[in-house]
Chains A and B, each alone.
Chain A
Amino acid sequence: MRDKFRNLPLRIKLTGISLTVNMLVFLINIVLLLAMNNMSDKIDTVYRANLQLNEISAALNDVQESMTEYLDTKTSDSLENYYLSSQTFTELIDNLGSTITESRQGRMERSIKSMAEAYLEEVGQTIDAKRGRNVEKYRTRYEEATKLYGYLNTYIYSLNNEQFKENTENYREMLSAFRRFEVVGNIIMIIVIFTTTLLILRLTTSLIRPLRSLTAMANQVAKGNFEIPTLPVKSTDEIGIVTKAFNKMVVSIQDYIEKMRLSAENEREMKERELKMETHLKDAQLKYLQAQINPHFLFNTLNAGAQLAMMEGADKTYEYVQVMSEFFRYNVKKGFTTVTVGEELELVDNYIYILNVRFSGEIHYEKEVDTSLTNIEMPSMILQPIVENCVNHGIREMMGEGKIKMSVYSLDDTLCIRIEDNGAGMDEETIDRLKNGRPANDRKMDSNGIGMDNVYARLKLFTGTDDCFSIESDGPGKGSRFTIYLDIKEKSDV
């Protein structure tokens, strides 16, 4: 039964509810109306007894009058009238009660009935006497009858009065009861309307509840939360269908999102791989570049030369060759792609020494180093090529004393390594060329082969940004400034 109701379409359910409620209200209304109708009918009958008595009184009058008329005129008309009226009177009298009751009215009715019978008897005898022309007799009879008529009239009048009094009382009572009932009926009606409204509210709420939970779920979905339980489907009405569809939709959306997520993951993995490939490529390139300047052979031979110089007792030559060897060893050690700033500076020291031996102390090398920063790591073979560039293109082409100044300092989190010369300087075009690594056509054979473009490229690979290296010059003949910017990173962090 309940399931049957559940599976009805929503339209029929709602109609059913309103129909039931309306029927209920209608029923109560009918009861009220019937009751009120009944009461007003009763009230209408209150004075019926009085009416009846009035009729009796009128009939009594008729009897008396017709009798008198007959006695006066003795016409057959009046006799007929008498018969008719006495007939009516008898019929009316028959309706009166004849029991001795507790109530005065009942007793009065009984007495009136008896008296009326006695009166009719008397009247009948009077009429008979008249017909028999017994003047003496009919006169006394007539007097007797008239006396009775008087008593009877008074009796009826009194009863009428009595009844009227009581009926008025009854009427008032009934009327007040009627009013009371009206008030009670109205109150009940109001309560009924109120409660039926409540009932409708309750029933529709229970009908709509799945719809509301559906809405709540839909809102969740709209907010992007797909992790919701499937809604229970309790009926096969419209709401049930919608709920089912919604459940399906949520499930398929979840599937779709899962698929999307998987494909996104795949894509990301592929990108990562690509990126890794690129770095490996860069690595390879770096290694290749370093391989270009591998001075294994030189280092070995220099080592042998140093030993020879020591055996011959040529100390200066030994030191020179030793420094040379150090210099080249550094190159041999280049297997470590990153070195510390200190190591790089040492290499520059060695290089300057070699050059000063070669060019007989032509270059003034000045250092201003924040020693706390020497442990910071950087790519190898960076500073030496720059210094070499300063020497080859700056100082050598100038007249007078060449100066190179190396300063290492920190600027916030950035390590700055600056190399200055007072050499020939550069124009904008040269700076641009140096930075972008276009091969210099005038490459000297005494360089160790590493160009500025390589330096810049490696720095860029190491730091991952373009702003790691700057070349400045105040113009031709006014010297140049090379500055390297590195993030301060302790070696131990690597």
Chain B
Amino acid sequence: MSGAIGPHRVLSVAGLTTSFRSNRQWRPVVSDLSFHLDQRETLAIVGESGSGKSMTALSLMGLVTAANGRVEGEAVLNGRDLLKLFEPEMRKVRGNELAMIFQEPMTSLNPVMRIGAQIAESLHYHRGADWGAARIEALRLLDLVRIPDSGRRLDDYPHQFSGGMRQRVMIAMALACRPKLLIADEPTTALDVTVQAEILELMKELQREQGMALLFITHDMGVVAEIADRVLVMWRGNKVEEAPVRELFAAPQANYTRALIGAVPRLGAMRGEANPRRFTVIDPIDGRSVATEAETPPVTDTAPLLEVAQLTTRYPITSGILGQVSARVHAVENVSFSLRRGETLALVGESGCGKSTAGRTILRLIEPTSGVIRFDGQDIARLDQHQLKAIRPKLQMIFQDPYASLDPRQPVGRAITEPMRVHGMATAADAMDRAAAALVKVGLDPAMAQRLPHEFSGGQRQRIAIARALALGPKLIVADEAVSALDVSVKAQILNLMLDLQSEFGLSYLFISHDMAVVERFSHRVAVMYMGEIVEIGPRRAVIGNPQHPYTRRLLDAVPIADPSVRRRMRSRLAGQELPSPIRPPGYTPPERIWRTVDEGHFVQDVA
């Protein structure tokens, strides 16, 4: 356990206030924040977007721009107040005693510099090591972060590494000068769950070996439960609660913390329940319960609304002047499933597994290579443009980024009415009424219809996107990571809304997601995708409660659980494992798959 509190205080922060000037006014983004960190200790700062958690990190690093930013207070690291240091001195501290890892491993490495040189640079600069010695040390660091075949990879460029590997390189760089304090700002947010689990495990182990203090900034309560010793909860620039991790999860004091924890689904909490369950939503200010948990009614229809059979989508990769097909990406390979009215089927898997392509192919936003998509008695894959247009209103989609899915120059009212007008479903006045009704349905004020998308918050935009889909009277909604970009509490509200709409209108959802905990809470059935194929499909209770395919097990095992009392023992897989890519030579025929029936409706692909 890494929680043994060391005798040495590494960092003590008192009265940290960071403000930015806008419109000739100083507005604080972090107000009067105080905390401390000891050797070998991990403090997690948790909060939603705009809570000031990242600003805290940037303030400590001295990276707040002096032009319009101001940092006040005190932050003592090893007896020196970081906030009083001048830039040349601060530069010696940064990367040396104090190091930072950022969220995007893709953008925080210099793309034109070999990684060995990038790591060595810091050693050369701070420790005056000559390049030869620095290079040997860089090699040792790559071994430390468990990069396989480190000797050969030292001279590779960042683009030759996968996301998880790049984050390992970032960690190696941060650890180069054996910092006393490592600040990690959402270091695993951009990574897949299995990779996230590896990186978290690596960071825990490195902390044990090196004895540094870790300031871990995240929005993910699951990750907090996994890694933190103590937790500091931030809300709108203020500290609302600070407590040891077990206490915080067991008995949260502040209303906001209760709201946050109430909104987080815990994988495994739904054991034995067949139907989705609504989320508790607590008002962060007065602590009243705004929505309560409730199980949703079961699905009664038996006839399938959507039947997908042997669906295959491949992209050719061409090369040469003549554009010959040199390989094919088997993005979706022989996928079959069915979906009933009022039912939610979750399509889960990691990035690149083909789940989004499958969803878009069903809507014919991407053309299928072969297969049948039978919806409401018609084969969508064989419809011509005219027939397709007629069926479009019944099949709608909600996208991950609601800002990207709304035309930035179109007022939201028009965004909702335009599809109705195009389909001749309503006259101009009628369409406005229906748009207003749809906005009310998703919990927005119809008076907002004149505004542009950028005037709304992320959660409100997603509500608009739902209203727009809803206004057409759909039967099936493909939700592609529809809540992944939202803050925890907003996520719970949107999921509740979607559940309510489902029971009211009998909607079917194809819920595409990488988040197993949300999937467990939200869906009736689950299909696990791996390298373009479904490897396991069945009732949610069966697939999550009794996973049969090794990949499903690996996926479930990697999900951080928002409960520190079930923190798992060290995992065996520390060394990075790369996800294989589904790129095949042109003549490739996929092997015949054999399916095994586990239980009623629960099928698993036999591993060859």
Q: Are A and B bound to each other?
A: no
Give chain B's interface residues, CB within 8 Å of chain A: none
Give chain A's interface residues, CB within 8 Å of chain B: none
